[in-house]
Structure 1
Amino acid sequence: MSGLPLLLIVLRKELADALRDRRTLIVVLVSSVLLGPLLLVALSGLIATLEAQAEKRELVVVGIEHAPALRNFIERQSYVVTPAPADYEAKLRAQKLGDPVLVIPAGFEAALVRGEQPVLQVVSDTGNKAAEAGAGRVQRLLAAYARERGTLSLALRGVSPQLLEPMQVEEHDLASAQGRAAQLTGMLPFFVIMAVVYGALNAALDTTAGERERGSLEPLLANPAPRWALVGGKWGAVFALAMLIAVLCCLSFLPAQWLLRSDTLQAMFQFGWAEALRFIAVLSPLAAALSAVLMAVAIRCKTFKEAQANSTVVVLAASLLPLMTLFNQGGEAWWHAWVPGLAQFTLMTRVLKGEALAAQPIAISLGVCTVLTVASVVFVARHLRAAAVR
């Protein structure tokens, strides 16, 4: 029998062994496939909460009786003035109060009449995200009141209010709607990469160190089959499982969009079949390389637990490399395409932003992953028989 049919036989055998461990497979599927959509739904829930808080237009105030003119302005802006509780500081720290508190000192109105600058306090807590998000809204409201009062004072003295604003500034955001959404959903590629890692991890360790520990590796090597057929079949099974997890993880974002509670995020986050297919195409070289590297790490280990400990280095590298983009404020660097994991994270981020994928970084990442895959598979083939007899 030639090598290719033997490779297919080993591939079917390894896939059957991997799928037979249903408990582990279910855990990997649930943790890897559902984690990204759950994060997306949780993020939309947070944004929806902040949007609902902004829409209710409620202002929590201490000492509003000292500023009748300010109260009139606030109510003209369709805000509802609510007295703050006596223990508002404790409630803000305990996150039981989701609104910042405006504190107005006594004599505020009289100080304004005398031309003084009274101090208003906007009390919030950086640990209370809801209150912290509302602090900017209160400050903008107070700035609008200050402009209105200054404009009226100048008009009463016959001075043109335009002297305060000799120019108009308009902001122009070059980012598309998908680009703005990517600022919120930028961690989704990280979870997809980790799904690929954990999808390949258990199968790669079981087909090498696991079989060696169970004593099933020697009978397999006793068959008159080429070494490349045995290793190719094992690697193909691990790669197939990693891609299965990757495909399911990418496709899970499609129905997850139906559960988004934030209309704003739902309008900006456009992830359809085209984006899912691009994610899968970008991930396939990484899945091949990770499968081979994990097998190369595990083939030198005597037990499954030892292989798990050694593979932690690969898992840690795959999880930390994409996070390097958070510390790089200069944008994408030329060397990102040469680093597996980081290159895929960068390409998937471009997909989320709706940008076109350039051919050069795709070719570089594909070439690097191919070299890494071939080198690791050759390493496994050379150490396979030695691992069985040790």
Structure 2
Amino acid sequence: MIKALFKKEFIDTIRDKRSVVAALFGALFTPLLFAVMMTFNIEKARSVDDVYIEINNADMAPQIVELLDRESIFHAELPSTGKKFELNGETHTHSKISLTFSDDFESQLSSGLPANILINADYSDQERSSQIRRVKRVLENYEGAVLNMRLVARGISPLVIDVVDLEEQDTSTPGSKSAIILGMLGVFILFSVFVSSTNVAIDCSAGERERNSLELLLMQPVSTFDVVASKTINTGLFGLFAGTLSIALTAVVIPFIPLHKIGMAFNFDLEVAVKMWFIILPLAFFAAAFQLVTTFHAKSFKEAQTYIQYSIMLPLIVPMALEFSKYKHAALDYLPIVAQQQAISKLIRGELTDFTPVIGGMIVTMLFSYGLVLFTSKSLKSEKVVLGL
């Protein structure tokens, strides 16, 4: 009976062009968005933007001004209003940072006394904090150079101020480094699975109710469990289809992301793609079952559209909540969404050697899906749910 009901649901779904387009959009959009974001962030990380600050009494410290210029930190008068100002016929943005050397800066420096420098800026501005750090780094480097010269002038080796000789050895590989940037890849793929099944879930639940076909279907000599199970399988297959396309397109776009520019690499081969597909397989049906619970308990089609927006945020909210809470427990590796996100993350880092949590997570996810289907099927025995009262 489930087979016949599934065939009916599948034919109804593919007739609805919106559901098919939504599935394709969710599958194609997320990998492309990921590739664009990563490429943009890599290019931005490699580029050094010019910073314009106001330098007062610059003639007191010409060497520092020269060092600032080398670091693309240039002098510009503070604009009277806003941050924009004209320079050589071009419009630039002022950092609103002011650097002032004291009137006796040169004489104090020559006397071996501390020379005063004032940095005036809004430290609460997050965008400006990186620019402030760039300015302070130049000043600290200059201070260290002057200190070394003073020690040498007094016949003292600069090594006396080095308490320890710290050596760092980076054991990370290009593949493990790439996991830092590609950490969101798994979330994007899970997100595509949830997004692409939303239209199908709404249409076969709240949509059928508004078309008065749900009540007619439940009047047939079939169990409510078979009805919900067929709808879950159909909805889950669309999510799985989207996830498959998303993985395939990710394999295509990964080589175009310039990871090599920052010393990183990631080989998205067929083995990785197949493992990732098996990881998302149970989650597609969990997403379908969860969305059907949401849409069946909505009183109208519009209400179902509103509620389901929150369900597609689960792949983003759950990992973020665990990351911010810093809560760690072995049981989390077996929970739906978390299990898949953790497994994909380890797969990207090349650390997926123990498949016990993966298999356990797949089993638990399917059990959760079965429980949701059972709950929805029992709910459909109530007139309030069927009629949306």
Whether the 8 Å contact between 1:294 and 1:314 is mirrored in structure 2 is yes
Q: Counterpart in 1 of 2:232? A: 235
Q: Counterpart in 1 of 2:88? A: none
Q: CA deviation at 1:311?
A: 4.4
Q: CA deviation at 1:112?
A: 1.1
Deviation larger for 134-143 or 319-328: 134-143
Q: Counterpart in 2 of 1:335? A: 331
- Given candidates 328, 343, 346, the residue that maps to 1:347 is 343
Q: Are residues 322 and 80 of structure 1, via their aligned partners in 2, closer, same or farther at CA, if it must alter by over 3 Å?
A: closer
- Given candidates 366, 374, 381, the residue that maps to 1:370 is 366
Computed over aligned residues only, the root mean square deviation of the Cα atoms, in angstroms, reads: 3.7
Q: Counterpart in 2 of 1:248? A: 245
Q: Counterpart in 2 of 1:83? A: 75
Q: Are residues 344 and 60 of structure 1, via their aligned partners in 2, closer, same or farther at CA, if it must alter by over 3 Å?
A: same
Q: Counterpart in 2 of 1:287? A: 284
- Given candidates 157, 161, 166, the residue that maps to 1:160 is 157
Give the secondary-structure state (helix, strand or coil) at the position aligned to 2:77: coil
Q: CA deviation at 1:240?
A: 0.5
Structure 1 unaligned regions, length at least 5? none
Q: Counterpart in 2 of 1:8? A: 3
Q: Are residues 368 and 230 of structure 1, via their aligned partners in 2, closer, same or farther at CA, if it must alter by over 3 Å?
A: same
2:42 and 2:104 map into 1 onto residues whose CA distance is 38
- Given candidates 187, 190, 195, the residue that maps to 2:187 is 190
Whether the 8 Å contact between 1:91 and 1:97 is mirrored in structure 2 is yes
Q: Are residues 152 and 209 of structure 1, via their aligned partners in 2, closer, same or farther at CA, if it must alter by over 3 Å?
A: same
TM-score normalised to structure 2 length: 0.80
Q: Counterpart in 1 of 2:40? A: 45
Deviations 1:208-235 (A, max 9, x none): 2322321223444455556655443322
1:166 and 1:287 map into 2 onto residues whose CA distance is 57
2:84 and 2:289 map into 1 onto residues whose CA distance is 52
1:328 and 1:128 map into 2 onto residues whose CA distance is 23
Q: Counterpart in 2 of 1:360? A: 356
Deviations 1:260-310 (A, max 9, x none): 367535834554444433332222212111212322343445533344455
1:170 aligns with 2:164: no
1:98 and 1:32 map into 2 onto residues whose CA distance is 41
Q: CA deviation at 1:191?
A: 3.0
Q: Are residues 105 and 16 of structure 1, via their aligned partners in 2, closer, same or farther at CA, if it must alter by over 3 Å?
A: farther
Whether the 8 Å contact between 2:53 and 2:73 is mirrored in structure 1 is yes
1:39 and 1:318 map into 2 onto residues whose CA distance is 15
Q: Are residues 49 and 320 of structure 1, via their aligned partners in 2, closer, same or farther at CA, if it must alter by over 3 Å?
A: closer
Any residues of structure 2 matched to 1:1-390 within 5 Å, and which? 3=1, 7-27=2-22, 29-31=24-26, 33-53=28-48, 62=55, 63-71=57-65, 79=71, 82-87=74-79, 90-91=82-83, 96-97=93-94, 103-121=100-118, 127=125, 129=127, 132-221=129-218, 229-260=226-257, 263-264=260-261, 267-268=264-265, 270-311=267-308, 314-315=311-312, 317-329=314-326, 332-384=328-380
Give the secondary-structure state (helix, strand or coil) at the position aligned to 1:82: strand
Give the secondary-structure state (helix, strand or coil) at the position aligned to 1:171: coil
Q: CA deviation at 1:161?
A: 1.2
Q: CA deviation at 1:316?
A: 5.4
- 2:13 is aligned with what amino acid? A
1:356 and 1:164 map into 2 onto residues whose CA distance is 46
- 2:197 is aligned with what amino acid? A
Give the secondary-structure state (helix, strand or coil) at the position aligned to 2:74: strand
Whether the 8 Å contact between 1:197 and 1:290 is mirrored in structure 2 is yes
Whether the 8 Å contact between 2:191 and 2:313 is mirrored in structure 1 is no
Structure 2 unaligned regions, length at least 5? 86-90
Deviation larger for 153-162 or 229-238: 229-238
Deviations 1:36-65 (A, max 9, x none): 5324423432331342216x8x88662432
TM-score normalised to structure 1 length: 0.80
Give the secondary-structure state (helix, strand or coil) at the position aligned to 2:116: coil
Whether the 8 Å contact between 1:209 and 1:299 is mirrored in structure 2 is yes
Q: Are residues 120 and 32 of structure 1, via their aligned partners in 2, closer, same or farther at CA, if it must alter by over 3 Å?
A: farther
